[in-house]
Copies of this chain bind each other. A is one copy, B any other.
Amino acid sequence: MPDPSLFEVFPTPSDAPFVIEHIAEEFTSVCPVTGHPDFGVITLRYMPKPGSTGGVCIELKSLKLYYHSFRNEGIYFEAVTNTIRDDLVKAMDPQWLQIETNWKGRGGIRSVIRADHGDVPRHFLGR
């Protein structure tokens, strides 16, 4: 089961603007209807709050273990995307955060889902 208690964070090491992107290319969960595995790429992009105001970053290994906790979970693409965004926003309270999930095709259709928290920083528009 998705387990946000796995998250560990550390203080933002700077007060200057800072965008971090973690691309997990080996995510898998299970389709709740057919029981067949789903495979996707999960991209996390976020701008932490400045360190001096208590901002934090996600520790990379804890993020990996959290993703692994979806492995045998029966869950829809949309719910994966929203769950990850909500769990990470709770864990980090970032200035901006975006989850993009990119799923391998099923029946000839492949899907990309993007959920935001906060405003896209000006110099990230169009990327």
Q: Write the residues of chain A forming the contact surface with B, with a CB cutoff of 8 angstroms.
A: 13-14, 16-26, 28, 36-37, 39, 57, 60-61, 63-64, 68, 71-72, 76, 78-79, 81-82, 85, 104-117, 119-120, 122-123, 125-127
* Contact of A82 with B125 at beta-carbon distance under 8 Å, contacts A25-B110, A60-B111, A113-B21 already known: no
- Across the interface, do A110 and B17 meet the contact criterion of CB distance under 8 Å? no
> Which of these, B13, B71, B110, B116, contacts A79 with CB under 8 Å?
B13
Give the residues in chain B near A110, CB-CB below 8 Å. Answer: 22-23, 25
* Contact of A115 with B14 at beta-carbon distance under 8 Å, contacts A63-B109, A109-B22, A127-B126 already known: yes
Closest to A115 in B: B18
Q: Can you show 17 pairs from A to B with CB atoms below 8 A apart? A: A13-B78, A14-B115, A16-B82, A16-B85, A18-B113, A20-B111, A20-B112, A21-B113, A22-B109, A23-B112, A25-B105, A26-B104, A39-B108, A64-B108, A64-B109, A120-B122, A123-B125
- Across the interface, do A115 and B16 meet the contact criterion of CB distance under 8 Å? yes
Give the residues in chain B near A127, CB-CB below 8 Å. Answer: 126
- Across the interface, do A17 and B116 meet the contact criterion of CB distance under 8 Å? yes
